[in-house]
Structure 1
Amino acid sequence: MEGFLDQVIAAARERVRVRQKIKPLALLQAEWPARLARTMGDQAPTGQTDLTIRPIEQVDLTKGPDAGVAMAVKTNLREAGQPKGPNKELKPNDELKNNGLGPSSAPPLTPGERFLSRLSKPGLCLIAEIKRASPSRGVLASGLSAEDQGRLYARAGARAISVLTEEKYFQGRLSDLTAVAHSVSLPVLRKDFIIDPYQIWESAHAGAHAILLIVRVLGPQLPHFMAECRKVGLAALVETHTAPEVELALASGAQIIGVNCRDLNTLTLDPARHQELRRLIPPGIRTVAESGIHHREEVQALAAQGYDAILVGESLITAPDPAAKIAELLGGIRYNGLD
């Protein structure tokens, strides 16, 4: 019997086939420099380039929409034992000048660096998800406005937003991601079943800052897909379910690793997987716990296990008051990049 994963991959292949007929990959690539310039401003590189996400210590966060996280991110990294460099005191301008990244010369953040910066801030990061349905629960909120939900999440204290764009089983649309990206200042993750590099390029054009890459889906192709992400400056949230998948993610150079405790074929949950796999991920890699997160006690346990972020969707979508649910999960503490 064909499992859910096989079905959703088949649906993804068909969507890519249709979209490529409407707008070929070559056209997306040709239009990318202009799109990147709109995203990053006058300092955007011209032509196709490798927009590898820099280590967060080398990124100037003193300007732009993420200016409020600059000192907090650097303080967090120092406390975590990252190299301190020549200066013992946290003086952003002096330190950036020593790194050749002073205010006048610092390149702007790529979309992926904006996403990574949010996960690097002190405290547990909430990535709030927008989805209208799920295979395990059916329809959750068929008439949901992605734009309105995104604004609600931003006001309530989410640090990033995940948008499910899979159409057949989750009732998502790529246009949902664009609507959210245009309506909030938070970084946006595209969550879908990525099986073709075309989807990476269309995600970047749609306004994504990061994209979900599932190891079980991509297997040995993972490094190739991560390289495509670098070409367009997207962060890759690399999702794992088993120890060998964590090993492959690390070997592929993943900077952000997600642990999903839901089996993609049976759709059953195994919460113990969060702790089992978190132990395998070394310091310096950002970690995201996915699926099965509904209560404050679960959030506290994940924080104690060392996770940097939680990705929560179903419990927020079905909550009578999503803002109150966010406050409950975070213990009443707002982490919105402005505090």
Structure 2
Amino acid sequence: MKDILMDIIEAKRATICEQKKAISLAALQDGAAESRNMFSMRQALANSSSGIIAEFKRKSPSKGWINKDASPEEVTAAYAANGASALSILTDTPFFGGSLKDLRDARPGVNIPILRKDFIIDEYQLYQAKIVGADAILLIAAALEKEECAFLAGKAHELGLEVLLEIHSEKELEYVNSTIDMVGVNNRNLGTFVTDIENSFRLASALPKDTLLVSESGISSPDTVKRLREAGFRGFLIGENFMKTDNPGKALGEFIKQLN
């Protein structure tokens, strides 16, 4: 079976190589040093009654275009106004139709944490995240060696960025350490893009009790969120369920009303 994750990482390496030719790491480091203070995504989720991380997502490798012409400024502002605890913005272009510009454009209009959701494999991307206004970054265990993941998590903390570590299987539990702020259980296999919500329940019991848990992908029902809460989850990353509607912010608001 075709491994989509390998294709994405290969394309990502090529993209970063081209970006480095245009803007040096040193230039990014200078820009990051001047960036503003951050919001805490971990704290926002821990204190939230809903825990919804509303995602701005134009397309996916498995579904194609979901909301091609969506405005990041309008959608994220509507998410914030309708009760999102935090935001996730996809910044991968070829596979998800996003960009760093989406995050930069969204930042001035919201006062809640923003996660840069991408396939981060190089410290260069951490400086990019800091400059455009991200508060947290995603590290995907399946895309990194354990040592690489630990290095990137440590560097993220140096920049004031929180880390959401994404795991999908028991063997990736060894990636969890003191440099990780939140652990996300991805219900979608990134190799095949098959989704199984039960994956969150399987892995929750194997993680330390003090871990701030986030369930990612395949969540479309308030009842599922209620079940996940009972299993110990405090964050729920939802994108497609809202983005496929004409009014993602309104869809989020209605979803939260059903939770309460």
TM-score after normalising by structure 1 = 0.73
Q: Is 1:245 the counterpart of 2:163 in the alignment?
A: no
Q: Is 1:296 the counterpart of 2:226 in the alignment?
A: no
1:66 is matched with none
Structure 2 segments unaligned to the other structure (5+ residues): none
Work out the CA distance in 1 between the residues paired with 2:226 and 2:259.
13
Work out the CA distance in 2 between the residues paired with 1:2 and 1:302.
31
RMSD (Å) for aligned C-alpha atoms: 1.6
Note closer, same or farther for the CA distance 1:291–1:128 as it changes in structure 2 (3 Å cut).
Answer: same
Q: Do 2:91 and 2:103's aligned partners in 1 also have CA atoms closer than 8 Å?
A: yes
Question: How many residues are treated as equivalent by the alignment?
Answer: 259
Q: Do 2:53 and 2:236's aligned partners in 1 also have CA atoms closer than 8 Å?
A: yes
Q: Which of structures 1 and 2 has the bigger CA Rg? A: 1
Q: What residue identity is the alignment partner of 2:237? A: L
2:76 is aligned, of 150, 163, 174, to: 150
Work out the CA distance in 2 between the residues paired with 1:254 and 1:282.
12
Which 4+ residue blocks in structure 1 deviate beyond 4 angstroms?
none
Q: Do 1:222 and 1:252's aligned partners in 2 also have CA atoms closer than 8 Å?
A: no
Work out the CA distance in 2 between the residues paired with 1:122 and 1:195.
30
Per the TM alignment, residue 303 of structure 1 is displaced from its structure 2 partner at its CA by 1.2
Q: What residue identity is the alignment partner of 1:224? A: F
Q: Do 1:128 and 1:313's aligned partners in 2 also have CA atoms closer than 8 Å?
A: yes
1:183 is aligned, of 109, 114, 119, to: 109
TM-score after normalising by structure 2 = 0.94
2:203 is aligned, of 260, 277, 286, to: 277
1:231 is matched with 158
Per the TM alignment, residue 252 of structure 1 is displaced from its structure 2 partner at its CA by 5.3
Q: Do 2:88 and 2:117's aligned partners in 1 also have CA atoms closer than 8 Å?
A: yes
The structure with higher relative contact order (CA 8 Å, sep 6+) is 2
| Correspondence list, 1:58-207, <5 A | 111=38, 114-207=40-133
The range that moved more, 302-311 or 323-332, is: 323-332
Note closer, same or farther for the CA distance 1:321–1:18 as it changes in structure 2 (3 Å cut).
Answer: same
Work out the CA distance in 2 between the residues paired with 1:298 and 1:253.
29
Q: In the TM superposition, what whole-angstrom CA distance separates every residue of 1:187-228 from its partner, at most 9, and x where no partner exists?
A: 110001111110011110111000110011112211101011
Q: Do 1:181 and 1:187's aligned partners in 2 also have CA atoms closer than 8 Å?
A: no
Q: What residue identity is the alignment partner of 2:135? A: H
Among all aligned residue pairs of Structure 1 and Structure 2, give the percentage whose two residues are the same amino acid. 33
Q: What residue identity is the alignment partner of 2:76? A: G
Per the TM alignment, residue 2 of structure 1 is displaced from its structure 2 partner at its CA by 4.8
Q: In the TM superposition, what whole-angstrom CA distance separates every residue of 1:101-124 from its partner, at most 9, and x where no partner exists?
A: xxxxxxxxxx2x522220120423
Work out the CA distance in 1 between the residues paired with 2:48 and 2:58.
31
